[in-house]
Amino acid sequence: MTSSSTPNRFELAAKTFVITGASSGLGRAMAGFLCDAGADVVLIARRKNELAAASEAINQIGKCSYISADLNQREKLEDLAKQCIDINGRVDGIVNAAGLNPRLPAEEVSLETWDSTLNLNLAVPFFFSRCFVKQMAERGEGRIINIASLQSARAFPNGLPYGASKAGVCQLTRAMSEAWSKYGITCNAIAPGFFPTELTAAVFDNPETRDWAANQTTIGRNGELEDLAGPTLFFASKASAYVTGQTLYVDGGFTAR
C-alpha cells in the first residue's frame, strides 16, 4: 500500500516544458500530456493558426503559451530560447518533436531536401536544446526528450534522408547524455511506431497499408496517441532520474520481430 505522504514522482507542477512541432500530431499530444500532469507548456511551430488552436485547446487543461517560429532558421534559435525562458522565467525541459519526412526515392533526393531534413530532424534538436542547458544546469535538473522513429532501426522505402536523420537522433541522444547528464540533465528519446498524425496520413488513409502496419506489431494494432502519455511523463519527470541516453521504442512490438 502506498502512503499518502509518498511523493508523486510523475508530478510536473511548477515545471515549464517547451515542445517543438506542437501545432499537431505527436508534439501537440505530448504537450497535452505534460500540461495534464501539471506542467506549463510552451508550444512552438510555424503554422500560427494551427498553433493558436492547439494552444486554446490545451489551455482548457492548464497553462499553455505559444510562439510561432521557423526552427530551420538556426541563427534565431538563441533568441527563440530566450523568449521561451522569459514566459515563466525558466524552462525545465524540452520535447524536440518537430520533424520532416519528404518521402522520396533515393534517386530524387536533392541536396536541398537532404539538408532541410537533417537540419530540422537532427541539427535543430541539438542546437535548440543547448540554448537551455546553462539555466537547467544552474538548477541541477533538466529533461530533454528527442523523437526518434522506427526508421532509426529499420530502412523503409522512400525514407533515406529521414531514416538517416532519425538514426542520428539515437546517437545524438547518447552524446547529449554524455555531455550534460553530469549537470542533472537527462537526455532520452522516444521512437514511436505507427500513430495517426499528419506525417503518417499516407499510411492511415489507405486500409491496406494501415492493416499492414498493424500486422507488423506483436500487439496487433497501430498506436493511439494516448499510448505515448506514459513514456512522455516518465522521461519528463523524476521517475526517470536515473535513466539517460536511452531510446524507448513505443511501437507495439514492431521492432521485436
- In this prediction, residue 1 carries a pLDDT of 44
Name residue, grid cell 522565467: 89
Q: Single out the catalytic residue among 66, 162, 183, 242.
A: 162
pLDDT tens digits for range 146-159: 999 999 999 999 99
Percent of the chain, pLDDT > 70?
A: 98
- In this prediction, residue 199 carries a pLDDT of 83
- In this prediction, residue 205 carries a pLDDT of 95
Domains of the chain, residue spans: 16-256
Nearby residues of 57 by Cβ (< 8 Å), 6 or more positions away:
32
End-to-end Cα distance, the chain: 37
In this model, does residue 165 exceed pLDDT 60? Answer: yes
- In this prediction, residue 216 carries a pLDDT of 97
The number of beta carbons lying within 10 Å of the beta carbon of residue 127 is 16
User: Catalytic annotation on 162?
Assistant: yes
For the structural domain made of 16-256, what CATH number should be given? 3.40.50.720
pLDDT tens digits for range 58-87: 999 999 999 999 999 999 999 999 999 999
Instruction: Find the farthest-apart pair of alpha carbons in the chain and give their distance in angstroms, rounded.
Output: 61
- In this prediction, residue 3 carries a pLDDT of 52
**At residue 68, what is the residue type?**
S
pLDDT tens digits for range 177-236: 999 999 999 999 999 999 999 888 889 999 999 999 999 999 999 999 999 999 999 999
Instruction: For residues 82 and 131, give the distance between their C-alpha atoms in angstroms, rounded to a whole number.
Output: 8
Q: In what order do the strands lie in the sheet with 16-20?
A: 64-68, 40-45, 16-20, 93-96, 142-147, 185-192, 247-250
- In this prediction, residue 202 carries a pLDDT of 87
